[in-house]
Amino acid sequence: MTILGISAFYHDSAAALIIDGRIVAAAQEERFTRRKHDPAFPAQAVQYCLQSSGLSLKDLDAVVFYDKPLLKFERLLETYYAFAPKGLRSFITAIPVWIKEKMFLKRLIREELEKLYGDAARSVKLLFPEHHLSHAASAFYPSPFEEAAILTIDGVGEWATASICKGSGKQISILKELRFPHSLGLLYSAFTYFLGFKVNSGEYKLMGLAPYGNPESPDVDRYVDIIKRELVSIKDDGSIWLNQDYFNYATGLRMVHGDKWARLFGFPQRNPEEDLLEHHCNLGLAIQRITEEVVILMAKEARRLSGARYLCLAGGVALNCVANGKQQAAGVFDDIFIQPAAGDAGGALGAALAAYHIYFGNERILSGQQDEMSGSYLGPDFTDRDVELTARKYKGVFTRYDSVADLCTATAQLLADGNVVGWVQGRMEFGPRALGGRSILGDPRNPEMQKKLNLKIKYRESFRPFAPSVLAEDCDQYFDYGGISPYMLLVHPVAQARRKALPAEYHQLPLRDKLYYLRSDLPSITHIDFSARIQTVHRETNPRYHQLIQAFKQLTGYGVVVNTSFNVRGEPIVCTPEDAYRCFMRTEMDYLVVGNYLFAKQDQPAWQEKDNWKEEFVLD
């Protein structure tokens, strides 16, 4: 049985293909169109999924969309009615789009498929599971657990903003839901907006900013008290109630009433690109603490309701890897699995899996592997010919290695010498994290590496932390964590033995002084609070990346490298060798390795930039 899942028309459109319950392909549309968070119908992602498997639309048993548009429309109408006469401007903006397009989504999907596959689109079966069921299915079915609690938390689906489910065998049962307008995801996005970052994009920046808050400052506790007193009421089961007098997302065109928030916290909304000051960092720390508190309470309620020993996580809030680490450390469950494409892109995969197991009733068969995501390497691959055609197009100069061992040894030496290396290998990752398929790598021992990567390669805010990729078997040598984290979705502390003592006045230092203080013998991956967003690298799922880090260990004694996504700020992660070469030449990256080919920057012809990349890619 062959099923195609689709998510589209909000953000992070994607397609995913399963054959007889096995995940064979998945990709976000943004990687093909080069428009970050592209919400359009995922035409190119659909074509990739089918072509890579030698299939056409007529071979499918069903196409499954990741939510129910009519339920969403019901929520929209009821919300405007409840808040009337507020929201008239938003109503006038939103309703015509719904009536013209989203009310007739079934027809729209058929029309888009017809553009690609002609008359075959008219007879294909279309299915529409609920949004949070798609999230729950994306987490449970690929997990290694026969039975588990499932916690999904995001902004909003149709009505649900969080759900607790139980997965058992092929079945998923919904046990409890939190409903709009009360939403942990929207609360976090509101603070993302107030602190000057982009909603549905900048939440991870807020997570990275939070540790720069001063944990010894009374302002942090004061902000927490204000938030709990005025904005949100937190119940023992993790459910929350948001005071809509302070929010504008239900019927307005903005997340919050900025003037009310300014009076509440004592400073105005930060504009994008403005300097980050201490009160911004302290407020970021306050909302991160509240988020962690709510997630742990929800996890406890999920354990109580389900009786399960294991937990599966999905939804946009599941990408908050700091909260994930705190929840794991709390020991509520024996183990957890987090869907690597936890946001709306992963809804495409979950929709297909839900249809396969629930609608069609197929049994679930566990393989005994780490999970069923294949390391999340589910996107397009490339050939030697693709690399050579790119080199010919741009007159690129390369060295080709016939031996993988020699390639890894040469690349490891370049890293040890302080170079920044683009690393493009095998199939592209599905989800927002680069996991050694489309990555930029550096030496974590180098105290200048974080600054260089942020300012000269990524062209982004200097405070942003970088993640370590560590040999799975060596993880506990560097971090206070001995488990696995293959998808870079858990934050845990750097091992105590590797830390350096902080000066007494450290928390009073300005942000930039804190940023460049050497906190461990791995300064480029040690965040300001001695934490790290860990990716454990496994020989079974990415043997070449594992071999590279092993070669780096043989040279340096360290089985860990810096890993960040291969893109510049505002650009989607690269997909093809051509994307990679173009990004390589636009930045101050030193070397590029694509498959078996190594490109040195100093050997390349001068780059003739026709368009400024900052104009091509909208800053996120």
Regions in the chain scoring below 50 on pLDDT: none
HEC string of 239-270 equals CEEECCCCECCCCCCCCECHHHHHHHHCCCCC
What is residue 408's predicted lDDT score, i.e. its pLDDT? 98
- Distance in angstroms between the alpha carbons of the first and the last residue of the chain: 40
Mind listing the pLDDT tens digit for each residue in 204-219?
899 999 999 999 899 9
Q: Is residue 200 a contact partner of residue 208, using CB atoms and an 8 Å limit?
A: no
The amino acid sitting at 420 is V
Q: Is residue 359 a contact partner of residue 449, using CB atoms and an 8 Å limit?
A: no
HEC string of 188-205 equals HHHHHHHCCCCCCCCHHH
Question: Where do the DSSP E strands lie in 83-223?
Answer: 126-127, 147-153, 160-168, 171-179
Q: What is the CATH number of domain 1-142+342-372?
A: 3.30.420.40
What is residue 76's predicted lDDT score, i.e. its pLDDT? 65
Residue corresponding to tokens 């690609």: 116
Helix (H/G/I), strand (E/B), else coil: 509: coil
DSSP β-bridge partners for residue 65: 6
Q: Which two tokens stand for residue 568?
A: 């510049």
Element holding 185 (H helix, E strand): helix 184-194
Q: Pick from 131, 69, 79: which is nearest to 103 by CA?
A: 69
Q: What is the CA radius of gyration of the chain?
A: 24
DSSP string, 83-99: HTTTTHHHHHHHHHHHH
Q: Pick from 403, 267, 433, 279: which is nearest to 343 by CA?
A: 433
Determine the Cα–Cα distance for residues 157 and 135; give it in Å rounded to an integer: 10
Burial 553-563 (b: 16+ CB within 10 A, else e): beebebbbbbb
Q: Which fold has domain 143-338?
A: Nucleotidyltransferase; domain 5 (3.30.420)
Determine the Cα–Cα distance for residues 80 and 78; give it in Å rounded to an integer: 6
Q: Which two tokens stand for residue 1?
A: 């049985």
DSSP β-bridge partners for residue 445: none
What is residue 295's predicted lDDT score, i.e. its pLDDT? 98
Question: Where do the DSSP E strands lie in 456-603?
Answer: 467-471, 490-493, 531-537, 560-565, 591-594, 597-600
Domain limits, the chain: 1-142+342-372, 143-338, 384-616
Q: Which two tokens stand for residue 103?
A: 């009310």
Give the DSSP letter of residue 311: E
DSSP β-bridge partners for residue 377: 429
Q: Which two tokens stand for residue 526?
A: 């040690």
- Strands 147-153, 310-314: pairing is parallel
Q: Which two tokens stand for residue 214?
A: 């001063």
What is residue 104's predicted lDDT score, i.e. its pLDDT? 76
CATH class, range 384-616: alpha beta
Largest CA distance in the chain: 72
601: left (phi over 0), alpha (psi -120 to 50) or beta: alpha
Q: Is residue 62 a contact partner of residue 357, using CB atoms and an 8 Å limit?
A: no
Determine the Cα–Cα distance for residues 241 and 234; give it in Å rounded to an integer: 7
Q: Please report how the helices 43-52 and 105-117 are oriented relative to each other, as an axis angle in degrees rounded to 10.
A: 50
Residues 6 or more apart whose CB falls under 8 angstroms from that of 159 comprise 71, 75, 177, 179, 180
Q: Is residue 183 a contact partner of residue 161, using CB atoms and an 8 Å limit?
A: yes
Burial of 484 (0-12, 13-18, 19+ CB in 10 A): middle
Give the DSSP letter of residue 67: S
Q: Is residue 561 a contact partner of residue 413, using CB atoms and an 8 Å limit?
A: no
**What are the Cα distances from residue 74, in Å, to 158, 160, 480?**
8, 13, 48
